[in-house]
Amino acid sequence: MLSSLYSGISGLVTQGQAMAVIGNNIANVNTVGFKSSRATFSDMLYQSIFGTAGSSQVGRGVALESVDDNFQQGSFQSTNTPTDLAIGGGGFFIVRKSNSKEIDYTRAGQFSFDKDGYMVDPTGNVLQGKVIDPVSKTPGGVLTDVIIPQGPSQPKQSAFIGMAVNLQSDAPFKGTVGAVTGTSGLSQVEASNTQFPMPGAYTGVVVNLAAAQIGHTGTNAASFGTPFTGAVKINDYEIDLPTTNGPTTAASLASYLNSALAMGSAGFANQVWASWTVDGGGGEYLSLSALANGVDISFDDGPLATGSTGWTAADKSSTDLYGSTMTLTSVRTNPDGTQSTKISTGKVSSQVGALKNWGDTPNQSGLDVTLLPPGNFRIVEGTSTFNVTGFNPDQAASTSNYSSAITVYDSLGQPHVVNVYFRKGWQELANSVQTNVWEWDAEVNAADSLNQKNTVPPGGWGYLRFNSNGVLTSGGETHTINFDFSNGAQPNQKIDLVLGSGSGGGSTTQYPMASTTNFQTQDGYAPGSLTNVTVSTDGTISGNYSNGQVLNLYQVTLASFNNPWGLTRLGGNLFGETYESGVAYTNAPGVGSLGNINPNSLEQSNVDLATEFVNLITTERGYQANSKVITTTDEMLQELLQIKR
Give per-residue pLDDT as tens, 569-580. Answer: 999 999 999 999
Q: How far apart are CA 500 and CA 496, in angstroms?
A: 12
The verdict on 334 and 201 lying in the same domain is yes
The verdict on 403 and 506 lying in the same domain is yes
**How many of the other CB atoms lie within 10 Å of CB of 621?**
11
C-alpha of 15 from chain center: 72
Task: Give pLDDT, residue 355.
Answer: 85
Does residue 565 surpass a pLDDT of 70?
yes
Task: Give pLDDT, residue 207.
Answer: 86
Q: What is the DSSP string of 3-35?
A: HHHHHHHHHHHHHHHHHHHHHHHHHTTTSTT--
The verdict on 412 and 492 lying in the same domain is yes
The mean per-residue pLDDT over the stretch 39-49 comes to 72
Comparing 198-212, 535-549, 558-572, 631-645, the range with the smallest average pLDDT is 631-645
> Which of 7, 179, 91 has the alpha carbon at shortest distance from 584?
91
Helical residues (DSSP H) of 186-275, grouped into ranges: 250-261
The verdict on 513 and 414 lying in the same domain is yes
Confidence of residue 306 (pLDDT cuts 50, 70, 90): low
CATH code at position 406: 2.60.98.20
Q: Bridge-partner residues for 342, per DSSP?
A: 330
Going by their DSSP bridges, the two strands 479-483 and 493-498 should be labelled as: antiparallel
pLDDT, greater one: 222 or 537: 537
Domain endpoint, select from 343, 365, 389: 389
Comparing 37-51, 113-127, 183-197, 612-626, the range with the smallest average pLDDT is 37-51
Confidence of residue 640 (pLDDT cuts 50, 70, 90): confident
The verdict on 455 and 559 lying in the same domain is no
Does residue 460 surpass a pLDDT of 60?
yes
Q: What is the 3-state secondary structure (H, E, C) of 406-463?
A: EEEECCCCCEEEEEEEEEEEEEEEECCEEEEEEEEEEECCHHHECCHHHCCCCCEEEE
Residue 512 lies in domain = 160-172+391-522
The mean per-residue pLDDT over the stretch 34-46 comes to 82
Dihedral over alpha carbons 66, 72, 75, 78 (to 10 degrees): 100
Confidence of residue 499 (pLDDT cuts 50, 70, 90): very high
Task: Give pLDDT, residue 455.
Answer: 45
Average pLDDT of every residue of the chain? 82
**End-to-end CA gap in the chain:** 20
Which residues, other chains included, contact 431 with Cβ-Cβ below 8 Å and sequence gap of 6+? Answer: none
Task: Give pLDDT, residue 374.
Answer: 65
The verdict on 199 and 278 lying in the same domain is no
Buried (b) or exposed (e) across 90-124, using 16+ Cβ within 10 A? bbbbbbbbeeeeebbbbbbbbbebeeeebbbbeee
Comparing 114-118, 302-306, 418-422, the range with the smallest average pLDDT is 302-306
The verdict on 442 and 555 lying in the same domain is no
Rg (CA), the chain: 52
The verdict on 288 and 380 lying in the same domain is no
Amino acid (1-letter code) at residue 1: M
Digit-coded pLDDT (tens) for 590-623: 999 999 999 999 999 999 999 989 988 988 888 8
C-alpha of 601 from chain center: 37
Q: Look at the chain and report how many structural domains it folds into.
A: 5
Amino acid (1-letter code) at residue 272: V
Does residue 53 surpass a pLDDT of 70?
no
Q: Counting Cβ atoms within 10 Å, is residue 514 exposed (0-12), middle (13-18) or buried (19+)?
A: exposed
Does residue 230 surpass a pLDDT of 70?
yes
> Which of 306, 286, 284, 285 has the alpha carbon at shortest distance from 297?
286
Question: Is-contact 374 187, C-beta < 8 A?
Answer: no
Confidence of residue 317 (pLDDT cuts 50, 70, 90): low
The verdict on 452 and 357 lying in the same domain is no
Which residues, other chains included, contact 602 with Cβ-Cβ below 8 Å and sequence gap of 6+? Answer: 32, 33, 76, 77, 79, 84, 85, 86, 108, 109, 110
Going by their DSSP bridges, the two strands 516-522 and 160-168 should be labelled as: antiparallel
The verdict on 508 and 550 lying in the same domain is no
Does residue 491 surpass a pLDDT of 90?
no
Domain endpoint, select from 365, 389, 413: 389
Confidence of residue 231 (pLDDT cuts 50, 70, 90): confident
Question: Is-contact 428 452, C-beta < 8 A?
Answer: no
Phi/psi at 13 (5° precision):
-65, -50
Task: Give pLDDT, residue 268.
Answer: 47
Task: Give pLDDT, residue 267.
Answer: 45
Task: Give pLDDT, residue 270.
Answer: 42
Task: Give pLDDT, residue 622.
Answer: 83
Task: Give pLDDT, residue 430.
Answer: 63
The verdict on 573 and 549 lying in the same domain is yes
On whether the pTM is more than 0.85, the answer is no
pLDDT, greater one: 552 or 282: 552
Q: How far apart are CA 189 and CA 206, in angstroms?
A: 14
Confidence of residue 393 (pLDDT cuts 50, 70, 90): confident
C-alpha of 589 from chain center: 33
**How many of the other CB atoms lie within 10 Å of CB of 151?**
10
The verdict on 144 and 89 lying in the same domain is yes
Domain endpoint, select from 453, 487, 522: 522
Does residue 64 surpass a pLDDT of 90?
no
Does residue 213 surpass a pLDDT of 50?
no
Task: Give pLDDT, residue 214.
Answer: 46
Does residue 283 surpass a pLDDT of 50?
yes
